[in-house]
Amino acid sequence: MTASRPEPRAHCPLCKSRKIKRGTFTDSQTIAGVRFTAEVPADVCGACGESFVWINDVGDFETAVARQLALRSVCVGEAFKYMRKTLSLRAVDLAELFGVTPETISHWENGKPDALAFTLLGSMVLEYIEGQESIRERLRALRNPVAPRTKPVRLTPISARSEVHPAKQLDVTAQPAKPKKRSRSAA
């Protein structure tokens, strides 16, 4: 689960000022034509105004975006790829789990994914946020069958989870992305 938040930086990496305050930074990402925005925790420099986000918080935002893609069934290739990367799965590994070729994964990610595969991958993302990997384990078991157990299986109750993943607490808004403008820096 997520570690406790680190202490604010001692000084600003840019201007070296020590006037660092806790604040927020508006992070956003556009995936498949949907713009996702959330306020993520940040250290804000009182001198130069620059915001600094910890890498864990960036990861939590990306996981929150993947969660939204799964919940909203944004069934397009870009979203499929984003969810796969959130799970740190290589295309070749996902292909093995799903029993398809890596070319099929590539085909889905560059076009329209299979709806059932998308839903399954989305469920893996939602499960990952809950700190579980049962779908992945069951798919792995399907691909690598073992002899049935002869010993009795002992059932243990699932204890209530007390911690909630930050990706579920981040208030992410989603709206249609504005048409892409040409970058000013592009000459």
Q: Which residues bind Zn ion (CB under 5 A)?
A: 12, 14-15, 17, 45, 47-48
Residue placing its CB nearer to Zn ion in the complex, 45 or 139: 45
Lookup result for tokens 């292909």: 95
Residue placing its CB nearer to Zn ion in the complex, 14 or 141: 14
Structure tokens at 9: 């930086």
Lookup result for tokens 């020590």: 18
User: Cα separation of 108 and 114, whole Å?
Assistant: 7
Residue placing its CB nearer to Zn ion in the complex, 48 or 164: 48
Residue placing its CB nearer to Zn ion in the complex, 17 or 26: 17
Closest separation between CB of residue 53 and Zn ion, Å?
A: 14
Closest separation between CB of residue 25 and Zn ion, Å?
A: 14
Closest separation between CB of residue 129 and Zn ion, Å?
A: 34
User: Cα separation of 17 and 46, whole Å?
Assistant: 8
Closest separation between CB of residue 42 and Zn ion, Å?
A: 13
Residue placing its CB nearer to Zn ion in the complex, 19 or 168: 19
Helices marked H in the chain — which ranges?
55-71, 77-86, 91-98, 102-109, 115-129, 134-143, 166-169
DSSP letters for 93-117 = HHHHHHTS-HHHHHHHHTS---HHH
User: Cα separation of 62 and 31, whole Å?
Assistant: 11
- Please enumerate in sequence order all residues whose Cβ is within 8 A of that of 168, keeping only pairs 6 or more positions apart, or say none: 64, 67, 129
Closest separation between CB of residue 21 and Zn ion, Å?
A: 11
